[in-house]
Amino acid sequence: MLGDACGVGKTGQAITGMSLNWQHRRILIVCPASVKTQWQQAFLDWRGWHTTVINSSKDKINNSTSFYIVNYDLLFREPLLSKLLKLRFDLIVYDEAHKLKSVGAKRTKVALSSKYLRPRTDRIWFLTGTPVKNRTIDLYPILRSCAPEVLGAYDSYYKFAYRYCGAYKGRFGVDTSGASHTEELCERLKRFMLRREKRDVLTELPPRVISKVDLECTPAVRKVIEEEEYKTIEQAGEDDPGLFKLGEIARVRQALAKHKVPVSVNYIKDLLEEEDKIVVFYYHKKVLSELQRALQTIPSVFIDGSVPPNRRGRIVEKFRTGKEVRLFFGQMEACGEGIDGLQAACSCCVFVEPSWSHTDIEQCIGRLEREGQRNDINVHILTIKDTLEARMMDVVAMKLNVDKKLYNQTKELNMAPKKEPVAKVAENILVTLTAVMDKLVDLLAVMAKQQSSNSVSVPVNTLSEPQVVEAVGEVEVAIDSVEEDVTEDAIRARAGDISAIAPNGSGKAGCVAIIKKVGGGKIADLKTPKQRIKCLAALDALYNELAM
């Protein structure tokens, strides 16, 4: 059992703990539904191995497949269970293994009973940041089935309960909620469990660990995307639909976020099993309402634009001092600055709606990354797989250079086995490309800063052609020496940000004017890297001016 605290890196350790020659062996990963795609991506990042994610009890099981990822709730359902029992596994990994604490639960029986999966594998690895979720008795099912040597003479439920759980006969039967002989049990566990707190490995961890979590794109979400694109084309009329999207991105974002709430809720609930308190950042008020409704059994507080500044300090204090208050919902625009005190209560935040502006994300993380914070910051950015949102987060990564932080590469690469020569060449190429991208990001930041410092703040409804010309002209000289490129999606994302903070239409008009000035009319007319970079830089400058 790997019982390291949350944020230490159990997933990476498990994958790098798999020998390179296991690539063609059969391995089963059992985890909460909310992190299945995270495991899938981690296998690609750490090993370059492809996996099969099981999303239905009726999914086909291919005997030639090496890696399967399934969630606990599907594990005991037919016909999937019968199919799994016909296979032989070299390794089964139970992630968030504290979910196997209940002796009578179906998932526990299927995972640990000799009638089901336990005899179908040579090895079982348990991963959990909370080996003892609530009571010492929670350890018993795993120890009894997979580590009986730890129990010794106390190998039955009641013997274990009376020895280590301070059990006694109460009014309603045997009470096993206590703890006794804890030091003895701790010594026994050393042969089976490795447990390290964040402070034990703090010198090996970065000050922040940013995880980009790709959630599954359900058929409902795919339908929303298609409907929104159709509406965009329909309303564009004779205009270029690609250009018209600039004013519609905010609507698409809201629709996506609404459909993302259910899986986000599951992810937050799973995270609360390891974290005492969590800050949840969101963008739209409707998303807040749905989050509060779905998580209503968990005491929470919130701050949005409707909360007066003089009340916000009291709300933060309630979150900080109230042991029962575990969730703080913060609207990104309202909590991006001027909020202090969250760092004293929490070191974990979740972005249910990630902003497409890297500065917005930085400002929100800064609410936890402040003086008084004693732990490393764990940031979870939830995106929907295979959507515009996921692509936009790649753009944010480029601008902020968080691509290395997203997968914690700078520190964790040292944990991987020595690479073969070809892999080493690929790594050198990656380092070179990263350095080039760093320079480009720094250049764009400098240009945006120069533009905002040299310009006068102008009301959003008075954008004029001369101002657009100036925004484009400021970046002309610097761009001449840049040979890198930016994507059309990056341009659309920044234009969407501008449209969002200027919803009266003038922001969109300013974006259109800049694109016309640089490329002749449409984003598709930006044929060269120089044009695209110049256009994005001018849009960045306009955004910074409007956001002041």
- Asked whether the predicted pLDDT for residue 542 surpasses 50, the reply is yes
The whole-angstrom separation of Cα 380 and Cα 278 is: 10
Residue 527 DSSP SS3: coil
pLDDT computed for residue 501 by the predictor: 66
As a whole number, mean pLDDT of residues 304-312 equals 83
Least confident range from 119-133, 289-303, 516-530: namely 516-530
Least confident range from 250-259, 284-293, 389-398, 431-440: namely 431-440
pLDDT computed for residue 31 by the predictor: 92
pLDDT computed for residue 249 by the predictor: 59
Least confident range from 10-24, 39-53, 121-135, 373-387: namely 373-387
Q: 266 vs 355, which has greater pLDDT?
A: 266
pLDDT band at 398 (very low <50, low <70, confident <90, very high): low
- Asked whether the predicted pLDDT for residue 326 surpasses 90, the reply is yes
pLDDT computed for residue 298 by the predictor: 94
Give the domains, in start order, of the chain with CATH numbers.
10-198 (3.40.50.10810), 206-411 (3.40.50.300), 421-547 (no CATH)
pLDDT computed for residue 82 by the predictor: 93
pLDDT band at 372 (very low <50, low <70, confident <90, very high): confident
Q: What is the mean pLDDT of the chain?
A: 76
- Asked whether the predicted pLDDT for residue 44 surpasses 70, the reply is yes
Residue-by-residue DSSP string for 148-215 = HHHHTT--SHHHHHHHHS--EEETTEEE-----SHHHHHHHHTTT-B---GGGSGGGS-SEEEEEEEE
The whole-angstrom separation of Cα 457 and Cα 548 is: 7
Residue 306 DSSP SS3: coil
pLDDT band at 532 (very low <50, low <70, confident <90, very high): confident
CA-closest candidate to residue 347, choices 315, 379, 316, 320 = 379
Over residues 166-183, the pLDDT tens digits come to: 888 877 788 888 888 888
Helix (H) or strand (E) holding 282, with range, is strand 278-282
pLDDT computed for residue 245 by the predictor: 45
Over residues 5-37, the pLDDT tens digits come to: 776 788 889 999 998 888 888 999 999 887 888
To the nearest whole percent, how much of the chain has pLDDT over 70?
72
Residue 384 DSSP SS3: strand
168-170 and 173-175 strand pairing: antiparallel
Over residues 480-511, the pLDDT tens digits come to: 433 456 777 678 777 776 776 665 677 788 88
**Are the beta carbons of 539 and 514 closer than 8 angstroms?**
yes
- Asked whether the predicted pLDDT for residue 405 surpasses 60, the reply is no
pLDDT computed for residue 117 by the predictor: 94
